[in-house]
Amino acid sequence: MLVQGNGHSNGKIILIGEHSVVYGEPAIAFPFSGTQVNATVQQAEKNFLASCYYVGYLEGAPEQLQSVTQLAYKLQTELHTPHFQLDINSTVPAARGMGSSAAVAVAVTRAFFAWSEQELNQKTLLFFVDFAENIAHGNPSGIDAAAASGNEPIFFERKQQVTTFPMNMNAHLLVADTGMLGQTREAVQSVSERLQAFHNKTFSAIQELGVLTDQAKEAIIANQPEVLGEIMNQAQDHLRSLTVSNQRLDDFIHFSLENGALGAKLTGGGRGGCFLALTKTKEQAELLAQRLQKRGIKKSWIQGLGVYQYA
């Protein structure tokens, strides 16, 4: 066993397909290099956690960290490690649709396996991350885990083999934080309830999101930013009909479209969190970011959609 084990992961962005991916439709996501998680684990007299949310013995960690604490206990049991100190440093904002819980789970799992000097393949990694994600979100699609554990864009379908997806589009994506916590678990539950109460209408919206995701892939391959922008707008209309948007998101998205964005939509669980705005150039994205900041956006990131932008 090593003196210390280290693990790393990135945050993630879902370009299109959130919520519908839970019901078997495809989604496009990619690792987000602007945010990352680093975890270290080493031997201690008693299980101890150090993070920006809590510092203390693992047994006393608050309820909102249950996915982390239960994952750590499971890794300790499965890998037969001694008592440990787990340090987590993350720049992935929590509850913003950027895959914070999955990114933490990826980094923690990698750290434990490195510490115990045991081989970790992708299937085993996803097993442990899915365990943590079920605690955090109830019925996760698995897309956060797949995106956070890789270093390339992915085309994802639930219970299907994940395929990497080459993006090489002459466009930039602005990721903006509304400042509101997202509500992934509540939003997922709401879609499930609407599917039962208004099955035909809700199922149609879910299927349309799947069609739009396929069209988005074609637009990216053909390097058609304007087409992708319109697809994003249509996807947002469907997400709004599924009640996973809210007024603050809608207002910021409308403002972005009025100020030069080709398309804009929420990303992740919704009901807060982050949204995306597509622009042709980095300069347009930077100008939009400045204008959004004046309207109350807390933080924003810009990422190119060309090749080699993801690792």
Helices (H), 141-224: 143-148, 184-197, 199-221
Q: Which fold has domain 167-304?
A: Alpha-Beta Plaits (3.30.70)
Q: The pTM is what?
A: 0.83
pLDDT tens column, 190-227: 999 999 999 999 999 999 999 999 999 999 989 999 99
Same fold, 4-156 and 167-304: no
pLDDT tens column, 147-167: 888 878 899 998 788 888 778
Q: Can you give the residue ranges of every domain in the chain?
A: 4-156, 167-304
**What are the structure tokens assigned to 160, written together?**
């299907």
Q: What percent of the chain has pLDDT over 70?
A: 98
Q: Which of 3.30.230.10, 3.30.1360.200, 3.30.470.30, 3.30.470.20 would CATH assign to domain 4-156?
A: 3.30.230.10
pLDDT tens column, 79-136: 999 999 999 999 988 878 788 999 999 999 999 999 999 999 999 999 999 999 999 8
* Cα-to-chain-centroid distance, residue 147: 7
**Which of 32-41, 169-178, 288-297 comes out lowest in average pLDDT?**
32-41
Q: 87 Cβ partners below 8 Å, 6+ apart?
A: 39, 40, 41, 50, 51
